[in-house]
Amino acid sequence: MTVASQVKQTLAGLKSAQQTQMIVDTLAPRVQEIEQEEPQYKN
């Protein structure tokens, strides 16, 4: 594996991790809202 391809792979991984974090940040507050609206689902 060349250095360039390693760097590309690392960047691709970071980019997808960033997108995952964005999705998590977007969904986390919504999950809390749902929990408050529907207390019977809480463990």
- pLDDT tens over the chain, length 43 residues: 799 999 999 999 999 999 999 999 999 999 999 888 887 766 6
In 1-43, which ranges are continuous DSSP H helix? 3-37
Q: Which two tokens stand for residue 9?
A: 């792979």
Full residue range of the structural domain in which residue 16 is found:
3-41
- Inter-CA distances, 21 with 11, 25, 32, Å: 15, 6, 17
pLDDT value of residue 43: 63
- The helix/strand/coil state of 20 is helix
The total of structural domains in the chain comes to 1
Query: Is 0.85 topped by the overall pTM?
Result: no
Task: Write 34-41 long-range contacts (CB < 8 A, 24+).
Answer: none
